[in-house]
Structure 1
Amino acid sequence: MAAILNISSYRFVPLDDLPALRDALHQRAQALQLTGTVLLAEEGINLFLAGSADGVNAWLAALRADARFAGLEAKQSWSEAPPFKRLKVKIKREIIRMNHPAVRPAAGRAPAVAPEVLARWLGQGHDDAGRPVRMLDTRNAFEVDDGAFDNAIDWRIDKFSEFPAALAAHRAELEGATIVSYCTGGIRCEKAAIVMQEMGLSHSYQLEGGILKYFEATAGQAPGWHGRCFVFDERLGLDPALHPASAAAGA
């Protein structure tokens, strides 16, 4: 097995002690020789870290000891070398920028569909109520170009803050179908699904855990998916088995 454990996770939860939390998380990760990025905001935490399995698991255990992060799940993959050069723990305005302050996932999530259920829906061509299923990609255009669900809706957005306006412009095209928003790890589609619900698209869901959880839950088979999943680190992309894909490997 490769020596480096890579994790990604997020949680929308109100945080009011950001400077102290930043310092504590940074000191702990530094002591355990972890690299990667942890983003903190009043709305929650978003993290991507890598290191030895013992170090990563020790850091996660300490984080989960805080009641606000108890039970926090982390998606895992392995690599031969750390995909991050340094450690950064930052305070941001949002842990994923949408510029839509009314969207507050901590106050209530939009409905989610489990990866195993989505795989079944895609295989049978409709949801359990017989409605056609359409996949809505909430990622930036260059990410979509590396890989996506087959026939997914792609509005070619350049940044996530463009999503609400794109949804408003195309809302009529989504009527009559079950819409599943998706992204790399779940954080963007969590906000996107709330906006869809707010716009009256009642048959809309987020893919629980995003693409990476879909790869993991379907044991690398990823039915209905083509290409690799772009990731923002030196691995560049992951195939459905969660193995790093070379930069030359096309979607």
Structure 2
Amino acid sequence: MSSATLPHAQHPYKVMALYKFAALPDAEALKAPLAEFCCGRGIRGTLILAPEGINGTVAGTPEAIDALADYLFAAGPFGLRLAGAEVKYSFAETAPFLRMKVRLKPEIVTLRAPQVDPNRQAGTYVEPEDWNELIARNDVVLVDTRNDYEVGLGSFRRALDPKTQSFVDFKDYVAKNLDPARDKKVAMFCTGGIRCEKASSYLLSQGFEEVFHLKGGILKYLEVIPPEESRFTGECFVFDERVSVGHGLELGSATLCRACRHPLTEADRRHPDYHDGISCPHCAGDSARHAAAAERQRQMQLAERRGDAHLGDAAAEAAAQARARKQHLAERSRRANKAP
């Protein structure tokens, strides 16, 4: 599916999600030029650089995102090291991100397993069109490598849920629940492909013989597989203000709890413990968090009444302008007081 035929391609914001395991020993030197390039074109989102590669999601005008793609994959300081990156495009009616961040980290997806190197060893890619046939086999163990709150919104039928709080926990799950002598074929999936690619490398390092992972992740599957043929149920959590997407990458129905950042289903929002912007069933007992959320909600409502921004770059710019006005008034008062 080309960018032009993606759902809502007429919307003003183009979203690019990408990752690539590639040798970037100069990641630190690449950080500032990349941030300058993005900020200069009004692009917002997060990009993570590490010696093992790049990962992130950003959004901007179609022209800006196309320029960034050229910068990353062909014309910029990365040379051709990111060529062949896993890239997915979608469109949004409103800005999915509030600010631009380029972060330097030890890993683009944190597993803390030094022996793992997807550039050297990884499982077998499975195209979305071939995924249904693979996971229908009785001799294949299907594992969702995402965290529990992501799995709670949707997953593939009969997939095992490791119930992890972070990807680092995946190693313990493997040690306790999977056995290379018993589980001869393991298929894994995640949101965009990056986590299960690294997980596949880890399983191979632990002696598992045949390891498969969904190329492009759930997002690519939802983009190209018709709903009537899909084995994915529910919605796919995404790490931006859209919260979730469904088949065809259509905007999902999930929202975020502003107190604990847990994704919320329609059933969650009908729960007695749900209070918009303040609490949800997943953080019902955290009174300190609720008090902070209530104050934040109050400040947001006040800002909305004033017509001011409350979050993101726009809020920072408004705050800077307010400080400048105060400084100007203070300077004018100082000069007036010094006048004879």
Fold match, TM over 0.5? Answer: yes
In structure 2, distance between residues paired with 1:55 and 1:194: 34
Q: What does residue 185 of structure 1 align with?
A: 192
Q: 1:176 to 1:45 in 2, by over 3 A?
A: closer
Q: What does residue 11 of structure 1 align with?
A: 20
Higher helix fraction: Structure 1 or Structure 2? 2
Matching of residue 86 in structure 1 with residue 99 in structure 2: yes
Name the TM-score, length of structure 2 as normaliser: 0.68
Stretches of structure 2 that go unaligned for 5 or more consecutive residues are 1-9, 256-263, 268-340
Matching of residue 2 in structure 1 with residue 11 in structure 2: yes
Name the TM-score, length of structure 1 as normaliser: 0.91
Q: Which moved more, 1:108-117 or 1:231-240?
A: 108-117
Deviation at 1:193, TM superposition (A): 0.8
Q: 1:150 to 1:220 in 2, by over 3 A?
A: same
Equivalent position amino acid for 1:32 in 2: R
Runs of 4+ in 1 over 4 A off after TM superposition: 219-222, 248-251
Q: 1:222 to 1:137 in 2, by over 3 A?
A: farther
Residue from 212, 224, 228 that aligns with 2:231: 224
Q: Assess if the C-alpha contact under 8 Å between 2:44 and 2:100 holds in 1.
A: yes
Deviation at 1:119, TM superposition (A): 2.4
CA deviations 1:171-194 (Å, max 9, x no partner) are: 139935632111101111011111
In structure 1, distance between residues paired with 2:50 and 2:127: 27
In structure 1, distance between residues paired with 2:154 and 2:229: 12
CA deviations 1:3-28 (Å, max 9, x no partner) are: 21111111111112223211111111
CA deviations 1:142-187 (Å, max 9, x no partner) are: 1100110011101201100010111011113993563211110111
Matching of residue 97 in structure 1 with residue 117 in structure 2: no
Residue aligned with 1:195, SS: helix
Q: 1:212 to 1:192 in 2, by over 3 A?
A: same
Matching of residue 55 in structure 1 with residue 64 in structure 2: yes
In structure 2, distance between residues paired with 1:154 and 1:174: 21
Deviation at 1:134, TM superposition (A): 3.2
Q: Assess if the C-alpha contact under 8 Å between 1:12 and 1:43 holds in 2.
A: yes
Residue from 163, 169, 184 that aligns with 2:170: 163
Matching of residue 236 in structure 1 with residue 243 in structure 2: yes
Matching of residue 195 in structure 1 with residue 235 in structure 2: no
Q: Assess if the C-alpha contact under 8 Å between 1:45 and 1:95 holds in 2.
A: yes
CA deviations 1:107-161 (Å, max 9, x no partner) are: 2322121111112334xx32xxxx5333201111011001100111012011000
Q: What is the count of residue pairs matched by the alignment?
A: 245
Q: 1:216 to 1:49 in 2, by over 3 A?
A: same
Deviation at 1:81, TM superposition (A): 0.9
Q: Assess if the C-alpha contact under 8 Å between 1:110 and 1:197 holds in 2.
A: yes
Residue aligned with 1:7, SS: strand
Identity of aligned pairs, percent? 35
Deviation at 1:77, TM superposition (A): 1.3
Deviation at 1:71, TM superposition (A): 3.1
Q: What does residue 46 of structure 1 align with?
A: 55
Q: 1:79 to 1:176 in 2, by over 3 A?
A: same
Deviation at 1:198, TM superposition (A): 2.2
Q: Assess if the C-alpha contact under 8 Å between 1:39 and 1:95 holds in 2.
A: yes
Equivalent position amino acid for 1:147 in 2: G
Stretches of structure 1 that go unaligned for 5 or more consecutive residues are none
> Whose RCO is larger (CA < 8 A, sep 6+)?
1
Specify the structure having the higher radius of gyration (Cα).
2
